Amino acid sequence: MARLKLKEHLINQDWCKGCGICVHFCPKKVLKLNAMERVEVLNPENCICCKFCELRCPDLAIEVLTTQDGKHD
């Protein structure tokens, strides 16, 4: 089965209210809140494409875009 590979994090700064739920649920500490209390990507190379941030965001402000890398388990 092909694994998902991160393409990009799309963050709608206008929708983000800075609650920090996405930061809390990220198992790899990819996200952080900036000085304006909005989420931003800190370590995209650590992302495992679990999409917890996207699923947990109450404001639908995050979308994790992925591609399949073609590797098989």
The domains of the chain are located at 4-68
- More reliable by pLDDT, 12 or 73: 12
Tokens 């800075």 correspond to 18
Instruction: Tell me the CATH number of domain 4-68, given options 3.90.180.10, 3.30.70.20, 3.40.50.1170, 3.40.50.720.
Output: 3.30.70.20
User: Contact at 8 Å (CB) between 23 and 31?
Assistant: yes
Of the candidates 30, 18, 7, 31, the residue with the CA atom closest to the CA atom of residue 58: 18
* Residue pLDDT, tens place only, 13-43: 999 999 999 999 999 999 999 999 999 999 9
Residue 1 pLDDT more than 70? no
pLDDT confidence tier of residue 73, bands split at 50, 70 and 90: very low
pTM: 0.82
- More reliable by pLDDT, 69 or 64: 64
Residue 53 pLDDT more than 90? yes
Of the candidates 21, 44, 19, 23, the residue with the CA atom closest to the CA atom of residue 32: 23
